[in-house]
Amino acid sequence: MDFTLPNVLLRDPELIRDVSIKNFDHFTDHRSIISEDADPMFSKNVFSLRGERWRQMRNILTPSFTAAKMKFIFQLSSKCSEQFVDYLLDHPKYLTSIDARDMFNRFTIDVIASVAFGVNVNSMKDRENEFFVKGKDVFSSSFNSMVKLLALRFFPRLVKLAGITVIPTDTTNFFRKVIANNLKERKEQDIVRPDMLHLLTQAKDKTTTHELTIDDITSQAFLFFLGGSDSLANLLCYMVHELAVNPNIQERLHEEVNHYFEEMKGEISYETLSKMEYMDMVISETLRKYPSLVFIDRVCTKKFEFPPAAPGYDGAILYPDETIWIPVYAMHHDPKYFPEPEKFDPERFSAKNKDNIVPYAYLPFGTGPRKCIGDRFVQMLVKILMAEFLHKFKIKTTEKTQNPLVFRIDSFTPFPEKGFWIGLERRS
Protein backbone atom coordinates (compact mmCIF):
# COMPACT_ATOMS: atom_id res chain seq x y z
CA MET A 1 0.00 0.00 0.00
CA ASP A 2 1.08 3.55 -0.78
CA PHE A 3 -0.98 5.20 1.96
CA THR A 4 -4.54 4.59 0.68
CA LEU A 5 -3.51 3.46 -2.81
CA PRO A 6 -2.88 -0.23 -3.58
CA ASN A 7 0.18 -1.16 -5.63
CA VAL A 8 1.18 -4.26 -7.54
CA LEU A 9 4.78 -5.17 -6.66
CA LEU A 10 6.58 -6.97 -9.48
CA ARG A 11 9.41 -9.34 -8.61
CA ASP A 12 9.68 -11.30 -11.84
CA PRO A 13 12.12 -9.93 -14.47
CA GLU A 14 9.90 -11.05 -17.36
CA LEU A 15 6.91 -9.16 -15.95
CA ILE A 16 9.15 -6.12 -15.44
CA ARG A 17 10.10 -6.37 -19.13
CA ASP A 18 6.45 -6.70 -20.15
CA VAL A 19 5.42 -3.60 -18.19
CA SER A 20 8.37 -1.35 -19.01
CA ILE A 21 8.93 -2.28 -22.67
CA LYS A 22 6.60 -4.81 -24.32
CA ASN A 23 3.39 -3.19 -23.04
CA PHE A 24 4.77 0.25 -22.30
CA ASP A 25 1.73 1.92 -23.90
CA HIS A 26 -0.27 0.71 -20.85
CA PHE A 27 2.26 2.10 -18.35
CA THR A 28 3.65 5.35 -19.73
CA ASP A 29 3.52 7.54 -16.61
CA HIS A 30 4.95 7.98 -13.14
CA ARG A 31 2.64 8.73 -10.24
CA SER A 32 2.26 12.50 -9.97
CA ILE A 33 3.19 13.72 -6.51
CA ILE A 34 2.63 17.38 -7.26
CA SER A 35 0.39 19.02 -9.83
CA GLU A 36 1.77 21.54 -12.30
CA ASP A 37 -0.50 24.21 -10.82
CA ALA A 38 0.93 23.66 -7.35
CA ASP A 39 4.59 23.89 -8.40
CA PRO A 40 5.34 24.45 -12.12
CA MET A 41 9.13 24.38 -11.66
CA PHE A 42 9.04 20.99 -9.96
CA SER A 43 6.46 19.38 -12.25
CA LYS A 44 7.40 20.55 -15.78
CA ASN A 45 10.52 18.42 -16.06
CA VAL A 46 10.71 15.31 -18.21
CA PHE A 47 10.55 12.97 -15.18
CA SER A 48 7.28 14.43 -13.89
CA LEU A 49 5.43 15.09 -17.16
CA ARG A 50 2.79 12.59 -18.27
CA GLY A 51 1.11 11.42 -21.46
CA GLU A 52 1.68 13.29 -24.69
CA ARG A 53 3.51 16.18 -23.02
CA TRP A 54 6.09 13.73 -21.63
CA ARG A 55 6.47 12.13 -25.06
CA GLN A 56 7.05 15.51 -26.72
CA MET A 57 9.59 16.64 -24.12
CA ARG A 58 11.42 13.31 -24.22
CA ASN A 59 11.71 13.54 -28.01
CA ILE A 60 13.04 17.08 -27.69
CA LEU A 61 15.64 16.18 -25.06
CA THR A 62 16.84 12.76 -26.25
CA PRO A 63 19.18 14.12 -28.98
CA SER A 64 20.93 16.15 -26.26
CA PHE A 65 22.13 12.98 -24.53
CA THR A 66 23.69 11.01 -27.35
CA ALA A 67 27.32 9.88 -27.14
CA ALA A 68 28.26 12.65 -29.58
CA LYS A 69 26.67 15.32 -27.37
CA MET A 70 28.32 13.88 -24.25
CA LYS A 71 31.64 14.35 -26.01
CA PHE A 72 30.52 17.93 -26.61
CA ILE A 73 30.34 18.66 -22.85
CA PHE A 74 33.25 16.44 -21.82
CA GLN A 75 35.64 19.40 -21.72
CA LEU A 76 33.57 21.30 -19.14
CA SER A 77 33.18 18.22 -16.95
CA SER A 78 36.91 17.48 -17.14
CA LYS A 79 37.78 21.06 -16.17
CA CYS A 80 35.57 20.82 -13.06
CA SER A 81 37.24 17.53 -12.08
CA GLU A 82 40.74 18.98 -12.43
CA GLN A 83 39.73 22.06 -10.43
CA PHE A 84 38.34 19.83 -7.67
CA VAL A 85 41.44 17.61 -7.44
CA ASP A 86 43.81 20.59 -7.61
CA TYR A 87 42.07 22.17 -4.60
CA LEU A 88 42.63 19.00 -2.55
CA LEU A 89 46.28 18.88 -3.65
CA ASP A 90 46.74 22.49 -2.52
CA HIS A 91 45.10 21.87 0.89
CA PRO A 92 46.74 18.76 2.37
CA LYS A 93 45.46 19.61 5.87
CA TYR A 94 42.00 18.39 4.80
CA LEU A 95 43.18 14.97 3.65
CA THR A 96 43.48 13.18 7.01
CA SER A 97 39.73 12.87 7.53
CA ILE A 98 37.21 14.12 4.98
CA ASP A 99 33.43 14.19 4.95
CA ALA A 100 33.05 12.64 1.49
CA ARG A 101 29.39 13.61 1.25
CA ASP A 102 30.12 17.32 1.69
CA MET A 103 33.14 17.10 -0.62
CA PHE A 104 31.32 15.38 -3.48
CA ASN A 105 28.17 17.43 -2.99
CA ARG A 106 30.26 20.54 -3.67
CA PHE A 107 31.81 18.96 -6.74
CA THR A 108 28.52 17.80 -8.25
CA ILE A 109 26.86 21.16 -7.66
CA ASP A 110 29.82 22.86 -9.40
CA VAL A 111 29.78 20.55 -12.41
CA ILE A 112 26.01 20.70 -12.88
CA ALA A 113 26.08 24.49 -12.45
CA SER A 114 28.61 24.56 -15.29
CA VAL A 115 27.04 21.94 -17.55
CA ALA A 116 23.33 22.66 -17.01
CA PHE A 117 23.22 26.37 -16.09
CA GLY A 118 26.34 27.76 -17.77
CA VAL A 119 27.71 29.13 -14.49
CA ASN A 120 31.29 28.67 -13.30
CA VAL A 121 31.62 28.26 -9.52
CA ASN A 122 34.16 26.67 -7.19
CA SER A 123 32.36 25.51 -4.06
CA MET A 124 35.50 24.00 -2.50
CA LYS A 125 37.21 27.40 -2.61
CA ASP A 126 34.22 29.73 -2.30
CA ARG A 127 32.34 27.62 0.24
CA GLU A 128 29.29 29.86 0.61
CA ASN A 129 28.76 30.95 -2.99
CA GLU A 130 25.16 31.71 -3.89
CA PHE A 131 24.76 28.72 -6.21
CA PHE A 132 25.88 26.28 -3.52
CA VAL A 133 23.72 27.92 -0.85
CA LYS A 134 20.64 27.84 -3.07
CA GLY A 135 21.45 24.24 -3.91
CA LYS A 136 21.46 23.35 -0.21
CA ASP A 137 18.11 25.12 0.13
CA VAL A 138 16.68 22.86 -2.58
CA PHE A 139 17.61 19.65 -0.81
CA SER A 140 16.74 20.79 2.69
CA SER A 141 13.37 22.12 1.55
CA SER A 142 12.20 19.27 -0.68
CA PHE A 143 13.51 15.79 -0.02
CA ASN A 144 14.12 16.39 3.68
CA SER A 145 10.70 17.91 4.21
CA MET A 146 8.33 14.97 3.96
CA VAL A 147 5.55 16.95 5.60
CA LYS A 148 5.55 19.45 2.75
CA LEU A 149 5.56 16.68 0.11
CA LEU A 150 2.70 14.88 1.82
CA ALA A 151 0.69 18.08 2.12
CA LEU A 152 1.23 18.83 -1.58
CA ARG A 153 0.10 15.32 -2.46
CA PHE A 154 -3.01 15.01 -0.30
CA PHE A 155 -4.18 18.64 0.02
CA PRO A 156 -3.10 20.29 -3.25
CA ARG A 157 -5.81 22.97 -3.32
CA LEU A 158 -5.22 23.99 0.28
CA VAL A 159 -1.46 24.09 -0.24
CA LYS A 160 -1.84 26.16 -3.40
CA LEU A 161 -4.08 28.65 -1.56
CA ALA A 162 -1.45 28.88 1.16
CA GLY A 163 1.24 29.57 -1.47
CA ILE A 164 3.39 26.60 -0.41
CA THR A 165 5.71 25.11 -3.02
CA VAL A 166 8.25 22.27 -2.93
CA ILE A 167 11.06 24.67 -3.73
CA PRO A 168 11.09 28.10 -1.98
CA THR A 169 9.99 30.89 -4.31
CA ASP A 170 13.22 32.86 -3.91
CA THR A 171 15.24 29.77 -4.87
CA THR A 172 13.03 29.15 -7.92
CA ASN A 173 13.38 32.80 -8.95
CA PHE A 174 17.17 32.57 -8.56
CA PHE A 175 17.49 29.64 -10.97
CA ARG A 176 15.02 31.15 -13.44
CA LYS A 177 16.96 34.43 -13.40
CA VAL A 178 20.27 32.62 -13.95
CA ILE A 179 18.87 30.85 -17.02
CA ALA A 180 17.14 33.94 -18.45
CA ASN A 181 20.21 36.18 -18.04
CA ASN A 182 22.49 33.52 -19.47
CA LEU A 183 20.33 33.01 -22.55
CA LYS A 184 20.03 36.76 -23.08
CA GLU A 185 23.79 37.28 -22.83
CA ARG A 186 24.53 34.43 -25.24
CA LYS A 187 22.07 35.73 -27.79
CA GLU A 188 23.28 39.34 -27.59
CA GLN A 189 27.00 38.43 -27.71
CA ASP A 190 26.65 35.40 -29.98
CA ILE A 191 28.32 33.15 -27.36
CA VAL A 192 28.41 29.39 -27.90
CA ARG A 193 29.36 27.38 -24.81
CA PRO A 194 29.46 23.56 -25.01
CA ASP A 195 26.94 22.84 -22.24
CA MET A 196 23.43 21.55 -21.64
CA LEU A 197 21.90 25.00 -21.85
CA HIS A 198 23.22 25.32 -25.41
CA LEU A 199 21.78 21.91 -26.31
CA LEU A 200 18.40 22.84 -24.81
CA THR A 201 18.46 26.13 -26.73
CA GLN A 202 19.11 24.20 -29.95
CA ALA A 203 16.17 21.94 -29.10
CA LYS A 204 14.03 25.03 -28.43
CA ASP A 205 14.83 26.42 -31.87
CA LYS A 206 14.12 23.13 -33.67
CA THR A 207 10.92 21.98 -31.97
CA THR A 208 7.60 22.51 -33.69
CA THR A 209 5.27 20.38 -31.55
CA HIS A 210 5.68 22.11 -28.20
CA GLU A 211 7.43 25.45 -27.91
CA LEU A 212 9.96 25.41 -25.09
CA THR A 213 9.57 28.39 -22.76
CA ILE A 214 12.12 29.74 -20.29
CA ASP A 215 10.25 27.83 -17.57
CA ASP A 216 10.47 24.60 -19.59
CA ILE A 217 14.22 25.02 -20.07
CA THR A 218 14.72 26.01 -16.43
CA SER A 219 12.71 23.03 -15.26
CA GLN A 220 14.83 20.58 -17.29
CA ALA A 221 18.06 22.17 -16.04
CA PHE A 222 16.61 22.12 -12.55
CA LEU A 223 15.87 18.39 -12.87
CA PHE A 224 19.55 17.75 -13.63
CA PHE A 225 20.44 19.84 -10.61
CA LEU A 226 17.89 18.24 -8.28
CA GLY A 227 18.23 14.62 -9.35
CA GLY A 228 21.74 14.70 -10.74
CA SER A 229 23.77 16.38 -8.01
CA ASP A 230 22.26 14.41 -5.13
CA SER A 231 22.30 10.94 -6.73
CA LEU A 232 25.70 11.59 -8.33
CA ALA A 233 27.22 12.64 -5.00
CA ASN A 234 25.81 9.48 -3.38
CA LEU A 235 27.25 7.28 -6.13
CA LEU A 236 30.70 8.83 -5.69
CA CYS A 237 30.47 8.45 -1.90
CA TYR A 238 29.57 4.77 -2.08
CA MET A 239 32.26 4.16 -4.68
CA VAL A 240 35.08 5.71 -2.63
CA HIS A 241 33.81 3.91 0.48
CA GLU A 242 34.04 0.54 -1.26
CA LEU A 243 37.46 1.38 -2.68
CA ALA A 244 38.66 2.36 0.80
CA VAL A 245 37.49 -0.89 2.44
CA ASN A 246 38.59 -3.01 -0.54
CA PRO A 247 42.20 -1.87 -1.18
CA ASN A 248 42.87 -4.71 -3.63
CA ILE A 249 40.04 -3.46 -5.87
CA GLN A 250 41.31 0.10 -5.50
CA GLU A 251 44.83 -0.83 -6.56
CA ARG A 252 43.64 -2.71 -9.61
CA LEU A 253 41.57 0.29 -10.65
CA HIS A 254 44.51 2.61 -9.95
CA GLU A 255 46.71 0.52 -12.23
CA GLU A 256 44.18 0.81 -15.05
CA VAL A 257 43.90 4.57 -14.58
CA ASN A 258 47.66 5.02 -14.51
CA HIS A 259 48.04 2.96 -17.66
CA TYR A 260 45.83 5.35 -19.62
CA PHE A 261 47.37 8.48 -18.10
CA GLU A 262 50.78 7.24 -19.24
CA GLU A 263 49.44 6.23 -22.66
CA MET A 264 47.84 9.67 -23.14
CA LYS A 265 50.86 11.54 -21.71
CA GLY A 266 49.06 12.87 -18.65
CA GLU A 267 45.68 13.66 -20.24
CA ILE A 268 42.44 11.68 -20.35
CA SER A 269 40.30 12.02 -23.49
CA TYR A 270 36.64 11.19 -23.96
CA GLU A 271 37.59 8.19 -26.10
CA THR A 272 39.91 6.91 -23.37
CA LEU A 273 37.04 6.65 -20.88
CA SER A 274 35.34 3.96 -22.96
CA LYS A 275 38.49 1.82 -22.75
CA MET A 276 38.50 1.68 -18.94
CA GLU A 277 36.85 -1.71 -18.54
CA TYR A 278 37.58 -2.19 -14.85
CA MET A 279 36.30 1.32 -14.12
CA ASP A 280 33.03 0.32 -15.81
CA MET A 281 32.90 -2.83 -13.67
CA VAL A 282 33.43 -0.93 -10.40
CA ILE A 283 30.81 1.69 -11.28
CA SER A 284 28.30 -1.01 -12.28
CA GLU A 285 28.83 -2.93 -9.04
CA THR A 286 28.45 0.28 -7.01
CA LEU A 287 25.15 0.96 -8.78
CA ARG A 288 24.05 -2.60 -8.10
CA LYS A 289 24.79 -2.53 -4.40
CA TYR A 290 23.64 1.06 -3.88
CA PRO A 291 21.05 2.03 -6.54
CA SER A 292 19.84 5.61 -6.24
CA LEU A 293 16.20 4.49 -6.45
CA VAL A 294 14.73 1.97 -4.03
CA PHE A 295 11.89 1.35 -6.46
CA ILE A 296 10.51 2.58 -9.79
CA ASP A 297 6.81 3.26 -10.22
CA ARG A 298 4.52 3.07 -13.24
CA VAL A 299 0.88 4.11 -13.46
CA CYS A 300 -1.56 2.02 -15.49
CA THR A 301 -3.09 4.24 -18.18
CA LYS A 302 -5.41 1.67 -19.74
CA LYS A 303 -6.77 -1.71 -18.61
CA PHE A 304 -4.15 -4.44 -18.59
CA GLU A 305 -4.32 -8.16 -17.76
CA PHE A 306 -1.29 -10.03 -16.50
CA PRO A 307 -0.98 -13.63 -17.72
CA PRO A 308 -1.82 -16.45 -15.26
CA ALA A 309 1.04 -17.34 -12.91
CA ALA A 310 0.58 -21.00 -13.84
CA PRO A 311 -1.95 -23.19 -15.70
CA GLY A 312 -5.30 -23.18 -13.91
CA TYR A 313 -4.78 -19.77 -12.28
CA ASP A 314 -6.59 -16.56 -13.17
CA GLY A 315 -4.78 -13.56 -14.64
CA ALA A 316 -4.53 -10.36 -12.62
CA ILE A 317 -6.23 -7.25 -14.00
CA LEU A 318 -4.95 -3.70 -13.51
CA TYR A 319 -7.21 -0.72 -14.14
CA PRO A 320 -6.34 2.87 -15.09
CA ASP A 321 -4.69 4.92 -12.34
CA GLU A 322 -3.56 1.83 -10.42
CA THR A 323 0.17 1.66 -9.76
CA ILE A 324 3.02 -0.80 -10.19
CA TRP A 325 6.22 -0.77 -8.18
CA ILE A 326 9.44 -2.32 -9.50
CA PRO A 327 11.66 -2.98 -6.44
CA VAL A 328 15.10 -2.07 -7.78
CA TYR A 329 16.99 -2.35 -4.49
CA ALA A 330 15.41 -5.72 -3.67
CA MET A 331 16.17 -7.11 -7.13
CA HIS A 332 19.80 -5.99 -6.84
CA HIS A 333 20.11 -7.76 -3.47
CA ASP A 334 18.31 -10.98 -4.39
CA PRO A 335 20.80 -13.89 -4.20
CA LYS A 336 18.82 -15.56 -6.98
CA TYR A 337 20.22 -12.96 -9.38
CA PHE A 338 23.36 -11.81 -7.55
CA PRO A 339 25.00 -14.46 -5.33
CA GLU A 340 26.40 -13.06 -2.06
CA PRO A 341 24.62 -9.76 -2.72
CA GLU A 342 26.27 -7.89 0.17
CA LYS A 343 29.74 -8.62 -1.23
CA PHE A 344 31.22 -5.88 -3.39
CA ASP A 345 32.41 -7.82 -6.43
CA PRO A 346 33.07 -5.93 -9.71
CA GLU A 347 33.78 -9.28 -11.40
CA ARG A 348 30.01 -9.72 -11.75
CA PHE A 349 30.26 -7.22 -14.61
CA SER A 350 33.37 -8.57 -16.35
CA ALA A 351 33.16 -9.40 -20.05
CA LYS A 352 33.05 -13.08 -19.08
CA ASN A 353 30.30 -12.77 -16.45
CA LYS A 354 28.02 -9.88 -17.37
CA ASP A 355 26.07 -11.90 -19.95
CA ASN A 356 25.01 -14.22 -17.10
CA ILE A 357 23.07 -11.42 -15.39
CA VAL A 358 19.35 -12.04 -15.81
CA PRO A 359 17.86 -9.34 -18.06
CA TYR A 360 15.74 -6.78 -16.14
CA ALA A 361 17.13 -7.87 -12.75
CA TYR A 362 19.68 -5.03 -12.93
CA LEU A 363 17.99 -1.63 -13.22
CA PRO A 364 20.19 1.18 -11.83
CA PHE A 365 18.75 3.75 -14.26
CA GLY A 366 15.37 2.13 -14.83
CA THR A 367 14.45 0.57 -18.15
CA GLY A 368 12.36 1.15 -21.26
CA PRO A 369 11.37 4.51 -22.75
CA ARG A 370 11.25 6.09 -19.28
CA LYS A 371 14.78 5.04 -18.41
CA CYS A 372 16.83 7.87 -16.89
CA ILE A 373 17.74 10.17 -19.75
CA GLY A 374 21.00 11.27 -18.11
CA ASP A 375 22.62 7.85 -17.54
CA ARG A 376 25.42 8.51 -20.07
CA PHE A 377 26.19 11.85 -18.44
CA VAL A 378 26.35 10.34 -14.93
CA GLN A 379 28.70 7.54 -15.95
CA MET A 380 30.93 9.87 -17.96
CA LEU A 381 31.22 12.28 -15.04
CA VAL A 382 32.02 9.53 -12.51
CA LYS A 383 34.75 8.15 -14.79
CA ILE A 384 36.35 11.56 -15.33
CA LEU A 385 36.46 12.44 -11.64
CA MET A 386 37.53 9.02 -10.37
CA ALA A 387 40.31 8.82 -12.97
CA GLU A 388 41.69 12.18 -11.81
CA PHE A 389 41.08 11.27 -8.17
CA LEU A 390 42.78 7.86 -8.17
CA HIS A 391 45.68 9.15 -10.26
CA LYS A 392 46.58 11.59 -7.47
CA PHE A 393 45.26 9.99 -4.26
CA LYS A 394 45.09 6.73 -2.37
CA ILE A 395 41.75 6.35 -0.55
CA LYS A 396 41.97 5.10 3.04
CA THR A 397 39.64 4.30 5.93
CA THR A 398 39.71 6.40 9.11
CA GLU A 399 38.43 5.95 12.66
CA LYS A 400 35.15 7.53 11.49
CA THR A 401 34.66 5.13 8.55
CA GLN A 402 31.63 2.94 9.23
CA ASN A 403 32.03 -0.61 7.93
CA PRO A 404 29.69 -2.28 7.32
CA LEU A 405 27.39 0.63 6.59
CA VAL A 406 24.17 0.90 8.59
CA PHE A 407 21.42 2.95 6.95
CA ARG A 408 19.37 5.65 8.65
CA ILE A 409 15.66 4.93 8.94
CA ASP A 410 14.55 8.55 8.45
CA SER A 411 16.13 9.16 5.04
CA PHE A 412 14.26 9.44 1.74
CA THR A 413 16.94 7.26 0.10
CA PRO A 414 19.42 4.85 1.77
CA PHE A 415 22.04 6.89 3.65
CA PRO A 416 24.56 5.72 6.30
CA GLU A 417 23.90 6.60 9.93
CA LYS A 418 27.42 7.98 10.37
CA GLY A 419 27.83 9.45 6.91
CA PHE A 420 30.82 8.89 4.63
CA TRP A 421 34.28 9.49 6.08
CA ILE A 422 37.52 8.72 4.25
CA GLY A 423 41.17 9.69 4.35
CA LEU A 424 43.34 10.57 1.37
CA GLU A 425 47.05 10.00 0.87
CA ARG A 426 48.79 11.78 -1.96
CA ARG A 427 50.44 9.36 -4.40
CA SER A 428 54.03 9.98 -5.33
Segment 1-17, tens digit of pLDDT: 877 788 899 999 999 99
**Is 34 inside any structural domain?**
no
**Is 417 inside any structural domain?**
yes
- The total number of structural domains in the chain stands at 1
**Is 355 inside any structural domain?**
yes
pLDDT of residue 169: 76
Q: Rounded to a whole number, what is the distance in angstroms from the first to the last CA of the chain?
A: 55
**Averaged pLDDT for residues 21-44:** 76
- In this prediction, residue 234 has a pLDDT band, given cuts at 50, 70 and 90, of very high
**Is 18 inside any structural domain?**
yes
| 86 pLDDT above the threshold of 60 | yes
- Looking at the DSSP bridge assignments, the partners of residue 318 are 304
- In this prediction, residue 204 has a pLDDT band, given cuts at 50, 70 and 90, of low
Instruction: Round the average pLDDT of the chain to a whole number and report it.
Output: 86
**Averaged pLDDT for residues 39-62:** 72
**Is 283 inside any structural domain?**
yes
pLDDT of residue 354: 93
| 340 pLDDT above the threshold of 80 | yes
Task: Dump the DSSP string for 125-191.
Answer: TSTT-HHHHHHHHHHHHTTT-HHHHHHHHH-HHHHHHHT--SS-HHHHHHHHHHHHHHHHHHHHHT-
**Is 1 inside any structural domain?**
no
**Averaged pLDDT for residues 183-206:** 75
**Is 209 inside any structural domain?**
yes
The full length of the chain comes to 428
**Is 380 inside any structural domain?**
yes
Smallest CA-to-CA distance from 112 within 87, 80, 138 is with 80
Range of the domain at 290: 7-29+39-426
Which comes out higher in pLDDT, residue 333 or 66?
Answer: 333
- In this prediction, residue 352 has a pLDDT band, given cuts at 50, 70 and 90, of very high
pLDDT of residue 143: 45
CA dist 121 and 32 (Å) reads 33
Q: What is the pLDDT of residues 148-194, one digit of tens each?
A: 667 777 777 777 777 666 677 787 788 888 888 888 888 888 877 76
372 assigned to a ligand binding site: yes
Task: Dump the DSSP string for 264-312.
Answer: TTT---HHHHTT-HHHHHHHHHHHHHS-S-S-EEEE--S-EEPPPSSTT
pTM: 0.90
Residue 174 belongs to domain with CATH number? 1.10.630.10
pLDDT of residue 39: 63
| 303 pLDDT above the threshold of 70 | yes
- In this prediction, residue 38 has a pLDDT band, given cuts at 50, 70 and 90, of low
**Averaged pLDDT for residues 416-423:** 94
